[in-house]
Amino acid sequence: MNERPPEEFVEALLSLRQAGKESKWQIQEVPAPSRLSPYAAALALSAETAHARFVVLYDPQGQPGWDSHFRIVIMARSEIEYEFASDPLLADVVWAWLGEALDAAGAGRHAITGTVTRTESQSFGATELLGGRLHVELRASWSPNTEILGPHLQALDYLMMSLTGTQLHEVV
């Protein structure tokens, strides 16, 4: 696509800059999905035991279910301890953390949807020394109430802290 992106989309992306500078995680731009909307941008956040994706979708015409020109899509995955993984309320707790993170960051939103998944993997063969690993993964999407998207990226920052059990001053 050689045409210039719409100004509304460019301004929304520029609003992410300050939140990205304040993030406690390593952030880099990554390829965005190209089939979900006419315009998209994506960021990856990473730490030793967790990683996340933050995707901004923009469709000047809007899409059914969005009730907006914008849609935020996130995926956050973290290693977890066995005791936490076996808690029957794990999914409810992680979903609540997302709401708390969005509220704490002042990220107004609507039409939110998502899933929480817990996984266990066991290594074999040459990687057997790695042992088993437990993970929790949250996938969610929502429509922001405004085109100022910085608070939404900041919310993902907060969510990552909850998932990793990290305090703000501990993150490198």
38: Cβ contacts below 8 Å, ≥ 6 apart: 1, 58, 59, 60
Structural domain contains residue 1: no
Structural domain contains residue 172: no
pLDDT per position as a tens digit, 71-128: 999 999 999 888 888 889 999 999 999 999 999 999 999 999 999 999 888 777 665 5
Structural domain contains residue 115: yes
Nearest residue to 76 via CA among 36, 135, 123: 135
- Can you read off the two tokens belonging to residue 161? 């802290």
Amino acid at 71: R
Structural domain contains residue 123: yes
The predicted model scores a pTM of: 0.89
Strand partners of residue 91: none
- Can you read off the two tokens belonging to residue 100? 């708390």
pLDDT per position as a tens digit, 78-93: 998 888 888 899 999 9
Number of domains in the chain: 1
Note down the domain range covering 49: 7-166
Rounded-to-integer distance, Cα 144 and Cα 69, Å: 9
- Can you read off the two tokens belonging to residue 115? 């899933």
